[in-house]
């Protein structure tokens, strides 16, 4: 009998956030629809948010 080591799934911290909806994206997988055609630097979580 073979025993395979289990892989733990680790969530990646988000680095992009949509200020209008609060949705977040970690950068893994396909780019979400709210980020298509937009500059990632404007939605970076550590970037300064525009004052409204």
| Residuewise pLDDT in 10s, the chain (52 residues) | 566 666 677 777 888 888 888 888 888 888 888 888 888 888 888 755 565 5
pLDDT of residue 49: 57
Q: Alpha-carbon dihedral of residues 23, 28, 12, 41, nearest 10 degrees?
A: -60
pTM higher than the cut 0.85: no
Query: Considering only CA atoms, which of 7, 4, 34, 51 is closest in space to residue 43?
Result: 34
- CA trace torsion 33, 9, 12, 34 (10° rounding): 10
């Amino acid at each position: 009998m073979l025993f395979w080591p289990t892989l733990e799934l680790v969530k990646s911290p988000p680095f992009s956030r949509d200020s209008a909806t609060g949705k977040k994206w970690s950068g893994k997988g396909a780019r979400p629809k709210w980020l298509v055609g937009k500059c990632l630097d404007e939605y970076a979580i550590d970037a300064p948010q525009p004052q409204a």
